[in-house]
Structure 1
Amino acid sequence: MTTGTSPIGNLPAELFDLVAAHLDLLAFKNLRICSRRLHLLSLAPFAKRHFARLTTTLGSASLDRLVQIASHHHFSPAVTTLHVRFLYYTDYCDLESITRLGIYPPPKRFAVALMPGISSRNIPSESTLYKDICGDSYPQCIVDRLVCALEGFPNIKTMKFYTRLHHRGDDQGPCDRDDIFRMRCFQAVITAIARSNIELRELSISKGSRKRPFYRCLRLPCTALCLPPGTLQALKPRLCKLTSLTLSIDSSYLASSHKRDWELTLTNLLASTPLVKNLALSLDYINNLTQYGADMMHSLALSCRLMVLSSFVLSNCTTYESDLTTFFAAQASSVSQLEMVDVRLCSGSWRSVLIVCKSLERLEQLRLATLKGPPHDQYLTLSHRCNNSLKVTLDVRKGSRRMSERIDDLIGALYWEI
């Protein structure tokens, strides 16, 4: 493999791509220095594998790397996805401690966690982000370089925001400082999107997938969606072709200081996404369902019309029966998949909601789990299942029965578990 006549170098490009698909980064590096032909052959699969999805913490070094990749004429077209990974306030305290020590990894006598994804040479520049966000350099510390990077990625279609996992493997609970940091970072990124020339197809406040939409979700304070009218207007061409939207919101954040018409913020954002097909909403915490989620659902029911919506997931939310049924009726001609998890009714009955589900003309799959209330926040479950089984999935693709018949059977099997 030291010359251009090596066996692997003489493979047709199509066969070489199949081989290169199984190479790790070290193998790519060794291969690319063997000959000019191997360097050229490996360029496309190397770019596709290692640059299609980029991750940033929005720190100075991380943004500089994005700008450098955006200026590279071979690697920039390969970028299709950008992940924004938020650290915690305690992480930035640790980074500052490491910067003061000047040693990484730090000595064992210092109780400082390791920072996966951040190289030792970038720790000093990464450690300043929290102070920058709360200081006079906000939002330029993020917006200017991020706009430059986004405009250099002609094929970027997906952006995801999520939190890092705790070093023990579980999610840390956010503190007030984390909420402020996330809100200001999110608004800065949205401003950068509005100023760029990209056209997104997917926007998600989680790292999840279709099956687990809220995996490592961000729990964004609802005030983060209070965007200036000019930013909302500039967002429309950036989101006009969006087909997938996942939002995880804390609707009760700073409830006492909610501005007038705050519940319209979600509706205003959805007005910029007329072509969204997959919508997933989480409006509260699972253990703290509040009235504020119901206020946001009421706003959606009154004014939100998504004519091509095919998949809808509602989770961690309180709502009224009338608002839920009104929202479903508005999308009755297009919805094919419906999922409700940890949803509590303030009034009405789940029986009425299921009857409205029968009117969804194209409904192929219905998933329900841990539905509550009224009365008295009891759980809704099925009489033919064990008491601890609160989940049901109806799928017309499994069997020959119609969805309306399956829902009729489901209605007859419902009962309340105290």
Structure 2
Amino acid sequence: MSSPIERLPVELTDFIIAHFSLPEYQNFRLVSRLLHHVTLSSFHNRYFARRTTTLTSSCLDRLLKVSACRHLAGHVSLLSIKVLNNEEIDLLRDIHRVGIYPPPKRFPKITQVKPADISHEVACFDRLLAGDDPKDAIDKLSRAMRRLTNLKSIRLFVNDKTLSNKPYYVAGELPCDDFEVASLTFKAVLAALLKSDIQIERFQTVKGTHIRKKTRSASIIYTAFQFPLDRIVSLGNAFSSLRVLVLALRTSYSGDSRVPGWQNHISHFIGAAAALEELTLCFQPEDRASRHRAAVMQSIACSVQVPNLKLFHLWGGAFRADDMTLFMKNHSSSLRQLHIRQCFLREGKWHDFINSLRESRLEYLRLAKVTYRSGGLKDVQWLDRDTGDMKDRILLDASHEEGWTMDEMLIDCVDRIDVSHEHEALQH
């Protein structure tokens, strides 16, 4: 005879266990064979839809075990590749030197790092920095990807590092940069993706969907995009179903040393995703050389055309008004949402650029904390007609403003902008 809880509808059972911790969930499922069966699908979706791994052999072996289980492999839709940061590696190195596992309590705990993995994490980090070919990691990761039949998204991030973080240095030593390790991991993940011969729908080097300064990310150095032509062609196949691309980029690295055309490699990478619908580019606003960020945007405006692009989000970038206008013109038939935040207008005027958007078919425009140069950096501000205050952001949404067309809202946006100090942006 079944118990009262076993006679509950499955939907009500799922509602009851929605806030259970993992141990509570496991114990509940062991109450009876019937409960174990009816909660199987929700259990898999909750604890196996997202898997996180590093490039260490022990972590990849666990991922391979999940991918080899036919009951679990089909539930994994998101694969996160985590890169430990320098501070964590230094701590793990100290723990490894002591050789006591679990480590003494004087050592801070690093989340999601098992004691048995400590030596592997340190060795993997050192091998990447030494330039060793991570072919074993690429092979294991590609096999796991191939078996995860429902894999749709891949994301890469550096643990506890955000879009506002600067490079990490140890006093008295050569720079040991989180960005460099993240970029090497990025190349290894792409190599595994190509070797697996699968197609994904989302690729991102940030964690989460809301972009802000505290967003955890892996800012990829521009040199990591220097792929040979045959690799770009192969990426076109791997990205043939890609709908969302979110990239965190670092353009100021190793000073001003540049190979001519360096910025075009980033454009070629983006252009390989011909079916792209959403593109987000996050730069490091602390990078002093805004000309490098502007060079990337100029290359994208001149060479990237993805016919289905519906949303473009630029965070921390720098650009010339003419370049962004060209980009908008090239995608006017499809682009409906434009987000520009924490950005610097290097050449041109904001009110001229906003006026140029009237020729587009935008339905949504968000400008926040944007700047221009007039002596020093100046914030663009808009008059709030309700309060009379000046604000550093404005949102235009045609779907929520009854009686207003987007063209009328853009005209109003220009009228409300404070241009009392705005002049032609100067190169610096």
Relative to the length of structure 1, the TM-score reads 0.90
- What's the secondary structure of 2:351's corresponding residue? helix
Q: Does the CA-based 8 Å contact 1:219-1:248 persist in structure 2?
A: yes
The count of residues paired between Structure 1 and Structure 2 equals: 410
Pairs within 5 Å for 1:221-370: 221-286=221-286, 288-361=288-361, 363-370=362-369
Partner of 2:400 in structure 1?
Answer: 398
Report the CA distance between 1:343 and its aligned residue.
1.9
- My pick for the range that moved more, 130-139 or 248-257, is 130-139
Deviations 1:77-113 (A, max 9, x none): 00000112221122112112112223355435x5x43
Letter paired with 2:124: L
- What's the secondary structure of 1:138's corresponding residue? coil
Letter paired with 1:272: A
2:142 to 147, 171, 175: 147
Change (3 A) 1:55 1:351: same
1:64 correspondence with 2:61: yes
Relative to the length of structure 2, the TM-score reads 0.88
- What's the secondary structure of 1:393's corresponding residue? strand
Partner of 1:26 in structure 2?
Answer: 23
Letter paired with 2:227: L
Letter paired with 2:416: A
1:162 correspondence with 2:157: yes
Deviations 1:130-170 (A, max 9, x none): 1221347522142011011101101111111122227xx99
Partner of 2:171 in structure 1?
Answer: none
1:100 correspondence with 2:110: no
Q: Does the CA-based 8 Å contact 2:50-2:80 persist in structure 1?
A: yes
2:410 to 396, 407, 410: 407
Report the CA distance between 1:126 and its aligned residue.
2.4
Report the CA distance between 1:347 and its aligned residue.
1.9
Identical counterparts, % of pairs: 26
Q: Does the CA-based 8 Å contact 2:163-2:213 persist in structure 1?
A: no
Partner of 1:373 in structure 2?
Answer: 372
Report the CA distance between 1:348 and its aligned residue.
1.8
Change (3 A) 1:11 1:378: closer
Report the CA distance between 1:204 and its aligned residue.
1.0
Letter paired with 1:223: T
2:191 and 2:374 map into 1 onto residues whose CA distance is 44
Deviations 1:261-295 (A, max 9, x none): 21111211122111111111123324635211111
Q: Does the CA-based 8 Å contact 1:309-1:335 persist in structure 2?
A: yes
Partner of 2:172 in structure 1?
Answer: none
Change (3 A) 1:197 1:214: farther
Report the CA distance between 1:208 and its aligned residue.
2.7
Letter paired with 1:83: S
Gaps of 5+ in 1: none
Q: Does the CA-based 8 Å contact 2:252-2:287 persist in structure 1?
A: no
- What's the secondary structure of 1:92's corresponding residue? helix
1:67 and 1:174 map into 2 onto residues whose CA distance is 33
Report the CA distance between 1:371 and its aligned residue.
2.0
- My pick for the range that moved more, 293-302 or 227-236, is 227-236
1:301 and 1:35 map into 2 onto residues whose CA distance is 60
Partner of 1:80 in structure 2?
Answer: 77
Deviations 1:312-370 (A, max 9, x none): 11121221111111001111121211111122222221122111211122x22111122
1:45 correspondence with 2:14: no
Gaps of 5+ in 2: 169-174, 422-428
- My pick for the range that moved more, 379-388 or 61-70, is 379-388
Letter paired with 1:279: L
Report the CA distance between 1:38 and its aligned residue.
3.3
RMSD, matched Cα = 2.6
Report the CA distance between 1:298 and its aligned residue.
1.1
- What's the secondary structure of 1:203's corresponding residue? strand
Q: Which segments of structure 1 move beyond 6 Å, counting only runs of 4 or more?
A: 385-388
- What's the secondary structure of 1:325's corresponding residue? helix
- What's the secondary structure of 1:415's corresponding residue? coil
- What's the secondary structure of 1:253's corresponding residue? coil
1:198 correspondence with 2:195: no
Change (3 A) 1:172 1:410: closer
Q: Does the CA-based 8 Å contact 1:191-1:231 persist in structure 2?
A: no
1:58 and 1:306 map into 2 onto residues whose CA distance is 32
Letter paired with 1:31: F
